[in-house]
Amino acid sequence: MDENILEVKNLNMHYETISGDVAAVKDITFHVKKGESFGLVGESGCGKTSVAMSLVQLQADNAKISSGSITLDGQELIGLSENELRSVRWDGISIVFQGAMNAWNPVIKIGEQIREAIREHYPNNTKLQNIEKIKELFEMVGLSETIIDRFPHELSGGMKQRAVIALALSCNPKLVIADEPTTALDVVIQDQILNEIKKVQDLLGLSLIYISHDIAVIAEMTERMAVMYAGRIVESGPTKDIFANPRHSYTRALLESTPSVVGDKVKLNSLDGEPPSLIDEEFGCSFSPRCSNPTENCKSGKSEMGLIEVAEDHFADKCCVECG
């Protein structure tokens, strides 16, 4: 059971722009176990979505994966041809894109759009088989069968998002990446969608990568997680351990800035400043300008960034661990 479905090792990806290379993903290493949900959290622009896009290699044209390895269930994905990748996408890894509920084609019925994806991967299925499959998927995500014949504009935001999840599950993927699936939704709808995802995950034993900027959602949804800052993972490990004993100052700052409705009202702390530009050469710890108690060592740039194990399966960036 402890087998890894996905292993990412030392992945580096940059965008080539006129003003220079933007290093969006720096030396990322993590793994996702079979049937586990893995969270990726960090502020906007930290590279969460870039990681997701690299996994399915759907990144923009100017994005280049310069080094690293991605193995899905033993198969190396880096270096595959476009044709080979097509069979990995959706069959191997499917993805619920950020804002995908607004990406439905407005003039094609929902059912037809899902059938299109299934047809591509199972060309021998009959139409009836495919429709049965869609009905099954809809039941799983809590949609009524009649939605198959509806157009996107006839559905509410929550229903469209459910249909997107059904689409992501349509080819029985080994791994689903959910990129901010509830960000544009209301709290009550968000709660319903989160429940739906949990239910489907239990039912199918799905492996899931859950991307969010909301650490509260990550706390509820995931068993293991990684915190990203400026293109790097600065802390990773079991979700409970990270919340109980955060070792990186950025993780602590995130936890201290998240309001909650339960427990006593606590004073929240803001994290001032802005993340560094990813074009510039890294100089020491990239978080040190915003760190609450940086030492001379952090600022001097003497310490290089890199994860070290602080407890079993719990990794944190060297700099913060050494500072205490």
Partner 1 sequence: MKKNLIEVKNLEKYFETSAGLFSRKKSTIKAVDGISFEIPFGESLGLVGQSGCGKTTTARALCLLDEKTSGEINFYNSDTKNMESIDNLNDEELKSFRRNIQMIFQDPYESLNPRWNIKDIILEPLNIHNIGSLNEREDAVVEILKTVGLTPPENYLPRYPHELSGGQRQRVSIARTLIMKPKFVVCDEPTSMLDVSIRISIMDLMLNLAKDLEVSYLYITHDLAVARYMCNRIAVMFNGKIVEIAETEELLKNPVHPYTKRLISSIPVPDPTYERVVYDIDFTELENIISTDTKNIGMVDIGNEHFVATHDVKGIL
Q: What is d(CA 278, CA 22) in angstroms, rounded to the nearest whole number?
A: 5
Residue 221 C-beta: closest distance to partner 1, Å: 8
Sign of CA dihedral 16, 21, 22, 27: positive
Q: How far is the CB of 228 from partner 1 (least distance, A)?
A: 13
Q: Which of 245, 257, 277, 292 binds partner 1 (CB under 8 A)?
A: 257
- The region of 160-168, 170-178, 207-215, 310-318 touching partner 1 under the rule CB under 8 A is 207-215
Mask for 134-153, x = binds partner 1 (CB under 8 A): --------------------
Q: Is 106 in the site for partner 1 (CB under 8 A)?
A: no
Which segment (106-114, 131-139, 189-197, 298-306) binds partner 1 by CB under 8 A? 189-197
- Contact stretch for partner 1 (CB under 8 A) within 65-73, 99-107, 254-262, 276-284: 254-262
Write out the binding residues for partner 1, residues 273-302 only, by CB under 8 A.
Answer: 274
Q: How far apart are CA 83 and CA 88, in angstroms?
A: 9
Q: Exactly one of 214, 289, 297, 299 binds partner 1 (CB under 8 A); which one?
A: 214
Residue 111: what are its φ and ψ, rounded to 5°?
-60, -40
Interacting stretch for partner 1, rule CB under 8 A, among 47-55, 83-91, 198-206, 266-274? 266-274
Contacts of 276-284 spanning 24+ positions with Cβ under 8 A: 276/230, 278/22, 278/23, 278/24, 278/47, 278/230, 278/231, 279/17, 279/19, 279/20, 279/21, 279/22, 279/23, 282/23, 282/26, 284/319
Q: Does 260 bind partner 1 (CB under 8 A)?
A: yes
**What gap in Å lies between CA 163 and CA 147, rounded to an integer?**
9
Contact 303, 311 (CB under 8 A): no
User: Does position 270 bind partner 1 by CB under 8 A?
Assistant: yes
Out of 220, 280, 309, 322, which residue is the one contacting partner 1 (CB under 8 A)? Answer: 220
One-letter amino acid at 273 equals G
Number of residues that bind partner 1 (CB under 8 A): 37
Using rule CB under 8 A, residue 254 touches partner 1: yes
The yes or no reply on residue 120 touching partner 1 (CB under 8 A) is: no
136: its two tokens: 């099954």
Distance in angstroms (rounded) separating the CA atoms of residues 142 and 126: 24
Nearer to partner 1 (CB atom), residue 32 or residue 114: 32
Shortest separation between residue 317's beta carbon and partner 1, angstroms: 17
* DSSP per-residue letters across 168-194: HHTT--SEEEEESTTTTS-HHHHHHHH
Task: Give min distance, CB of 249 to partner 1, in A.
Answer: 12
- Nearer to partner 1 by C-beta: 45 or 68? 45
**DSSP states of 93-158 as a string?**
EEEE-TTGGG-S-TTS-HHHHHHHHHHHH-TTS-HHHHHHHHHHHHHHTT--GGGGG--GGGS-HH
**Of 40, 72, 219, 310, which one interacts with partner 1 (CB under 8 A)?**
219
Chain positions contacting partner 1, by CB under 8 A: 43-44, 186-191, 194-195, 213-217, 219-220, 239-240, 243-244, 253-255, 257-262, 265, 268-272, 274
